[in-house]
A and B are shown apart, each in its own frame.
Chain A
Amino acid sequence: MIVAPLQNLIESSLADRSGRNLSGYVRNADDLMSEEKLSALEKAHEGIFAFVLMHPSVDKAVAEYVTAGSLGSDAGDVVFALFTLPSSVATRREVDESALSDWIEIDRGRNPAQEMLRELFKDKPAPPLPGVVLIESFVRHTEPIYVSLAGATTVQEVASICRIVFEVATRAYQKSDRSFATHVGTDLARAGISYVRGGGRSLQEWLVAAAKIAYANASTIVSVVKLFG
């Protein structure tokens, strides 16, 4: 499974192919997650986002699932999987069991994923980690859905839940009669998977906060690189 920093992917989606990729360079890092740039990413991607939140040394089953390599294929063509990696490996690269090793040593008391989750559920108690946040759009007013993986103790259990979640999200994306969150919520309820709805809001602000939390914790938000357009 190949991953790339989210910044790279935003820049790639901005690039003018006729003039090589230099035009895709973001000259100001603060400007990276502007509405215009995230819109370009969403247009290039044509799908929804799934952000896996976990602490690599505490949530071992999820960490193992992420580094084992099937997250990309499980996510499919529509779901754009995001997670965080230590900055030292945050270039385009293959993810393997060594990818999180630098990061595994981080203080268990400091948990960037927890901070990101608190940012997502600002006005209410945050659900337990680890988990997956499903996001329809960062620029439109949408409602995120959080699926906790706290009950999954083995990599097989994590993979099984994630596959259902990604399948549900893909189906919901392809339907337009009701909101994305309603579709996902209904299907997850049918599948017996508990979830929390995050309330309607713009998630651009949350992504900016998440990127800052990642940076402050020597890590970077990365995405699984899909190979075919």
Chain B
Amino acid sequence: MKTGNEVAGRAILPIAEVLLRQIRAVGQLGLDAPSITAASNSLLQRCGTAGNVFQMLEHIAGLVCEDGVPFVYNLQRWPEGLPPAGYTGGDVVLKPSTLLETYVMAWNAATIDPPVSGRRFLKAALWICHQKGLAAAIRYTLDLERFGFVRRTDDVHFVLLALITAQRIVADDKDIVPFFLGRAPATPRELMDAELAAFDLETPPTRPITTAAVEALVSAALQQVERVRNATNYDEWLTGHRILSTHAEHVLPIINEHVTKPSTGLTAILDQLEEIRADGGGISGIIAVRSTTHPFESVLPPFAGGISLTMQSAAGADWKRRAVEERAIPRAVADTVLARKTLDDPAWRAISGHLAPIYLEVVLRRDPRDWIRSRPFTTDEILASDAAGECFTAAHIDDSRQRLAVARHLSGDWRASGFQRFKSLLPRSPGEQPQVAEEDAFEADHEQFDKWFDDNKEFFENLDENVARAMKVEEIERRLTPAIDEACPIEERTREVAAVLELYPWLDVAIYEAGIVADDGGDHQRGLELFQAAIHADPSNAMYWQSLGVALNRGGHSDEAQIAAVISKMLAGEL
């Protein structure tokens, strides 16, 4: 985004940029996600706040979208004179609040039964086709997906397939638009109001797919491969790879269906995209497996580790170069992850605070207000917790052996103990005698508890949730109480709040309190950054904006402080 002046450049413009990236990520990560609709409360709230912030900055600072952003019309409110489809730049200026509206309208169109979003995207692509040709329309359609406008991947597939099938049916590319609309639209309004004509995609083709169409499909996918390889952090890589594997989902079947004799070079590219598409499934699988234990941790190391194993056996000494060339491994950390070393750079170790709230809701399908801990409670922590003890008592689990088994079950150690059991079956060192009685007792005990857990699955799932929630409340209260107590020495407050942030790095309250402590300790810059981060996590909290205003004022940015104060009052319902 760009502005006409610097009045909001210190903190609020960067927040607006993060909010737009978050909204874009809803579409990028939420492709086909059943649990996400534009009507989701937290998402609506986030969009609402973002809209208010954008409008304020548009009014005060002349905020507009940067050049090169694709857009698609909406029928609720579309500025007169703006084309129904295209990219920002030159005379085409789009306000972020309009872009936001069009995002929400496009997502909503996908939730209507039957969905109407595919028709809208097709009409938009036809506008581009009419203005700049079929190849441009193909690239534009894939760009809409890349920028998060699309909720249903079927919509993009439908548009691409319709365009290419029509190209093969009609005698000339200029006949594609009339094939769908009856005649080429003369004005934006005519396009937006047009009904699709009765078209028959089953009509026998009269000519092969054109080189330009194939090149547009393949180029878009290869450009996305390059973007993913050139990612500068984990957020970019993860969202980029999601889009890449979806692009591959569209491109592969369309080319396989419409190109009867692909060249050797094209076949090699299709093979590469096939592997990348499969990688997308692998990444989703790793995310699912780690979603409860390490929800935000980068899946890049295990993913790249798997690729390095495959490539080493397939490509011999040259495997590293091939891994980077063939797969979408980010160049910035390729040496580290392919060597299976630890990622030190925080930008690559985990999802950032910018993306975390969206990732939680869209990918992990969790409530964004959940207090997500960066790692599970250990058996010892559960046994030492008063809150967990109360949950056990309430569930009538009083026996110490039972409590130990349940604590091990909740912490995940029970699965590890299964592995220990497996280990006990491994060959022993020469001369070592198996301790039969001990093992038999262990087995008997385990079998008894396994049965107990299996027979009461629902009970233990509920207990797991209750214990975790109670322990989180206990832990956060215990640590944040001294942190927010101004009478406590600043060193203690800093230590406690740092401990909370380490365990709950995406919890807005913890981030906010860390900001207060930093500010009280004299580190106003850090305080300002943490208030911004708290707003990224929960932009609808008036208190966070108020504190941001105070921090800005303290830093001598009184004009921007006033904007933050107005947003705070607006969110508090005082305006």
Contact = CB atoms under 8 A, between A and B. Distances in A.
B268 interface: yes
Given A25-B315, A27-B315, A227-B259, A92 B266 contact: no
A15 B315 CA distance: 13
B226 A9 contact: no
A9 B267 CA distance: 10
A9 B268 contact: yes
Contacts of A26: 318
Interface string A43-63: 011000000000000000000
A227 B317 CA distance: 30
B261 interface: yes
B90 interface: no
Contacts of A137: none
Contact of A9 (B229, B265, B272): B265
B339 to A, nearest CB: 20
A226 B266 contact: yes
Given A228-B261, A229-B264, A92 B271 contact: no
Contacts of B317: 27-29
B105 interface: no
Contacts of A45: 264
Interface stretch (A16-24, A121-129, A143-151, A170-178): A16-24
Interface residues of A, number: 34
A207 interface: no
Nearest to A8: B268
A227 B226 contact: no
A66 interface: no
B322 interface: yes
B222 A94 contact: yes
B220 to A, nearest CB: 9
Interface residues of B, number: 30
Contacts of A28: 316-318
B75 interface: no
30 contacts: A1-B215, A2-B219, A8-B268, A9-B268, A12-B267, A13-B264, A15-B271, A20-B271, A21-B271, A24-B268, A25-B318, A28-B316, A45-B264, A91-B325, A92-B268, A92-B272, A93-B222, A93-B225, A94-B215, A223-B265, A225-B266, A225-B269, A227-B259, A227-B263, A227-B265, A227-B266, A228-B262, A228-B263, A229-B262, A229-B266
Contacts of B318: 25-29
Interface of A: 1-2, 4-5, 8-9, 11-13, 15, 17, 20-22, 24-29, 44-45, 73, 89, 91-94, 223, 225-229
Nearest 6 A/B pairs, CB to CB: A27-B316, A12-B268, A225-B265, A94-B219, A229-B261, A25-B315
Which label, helix, strand, loop or mixed, suits the secondary structure of the A interface? mixed
B286 interface: no
A5 B214 CA distance: 20
Nearest to A226: B263
A143 to B, nearest CB: 26
Interface string B314-326: 1111100010110
A9 B261 contact: no
Contact of A17 (B219, B259, B267, B316): B267
Contacts of A8: 265, 268, 325
Given A2-B269, A93-B223, A94-B219, A228 B264 contact: no
B211 A228 contact: yes
Contacts of A89: 226
B268 A228 contact: no
Contacts of B268: 4, 8-9, 11-12, 15, 21, 24, 92
A219 to B, nearest CB: 15
Contacts of A227: 211, 214-215, 218, 259, 262-263, 265-266
A95 to B, nearest CB: 10
Nearest to B310: A22
A69 to B, nearest CB: 9
A25 B265 CA distance: 14
Interface in B291-327: 314-318, 322, 324-325
Contact of A228 (B222, B266, B272, B322): B266
Nearest to B325: A91
A229 B223 contact: no
Contacts of A228: 211, 214, 259, 261-263, 266
Interface in B312-356: 314-318, 322, 324-325
A228 to B, nearest CB: 6
Contacts of B222: 2, 92-94
Given A2-B215, A228-B259, A12 B265 contact: yes
Nearest to B222: A93
A97 to B, nearest CB: 14
A187 B219 CA distance: 36
B221 to A, nearest CB: 10
A5 B325 contact: yes
Contacts of B267: 12, 17, 229
A26 to B, nearest CB: 7
B272 A73 contact: no
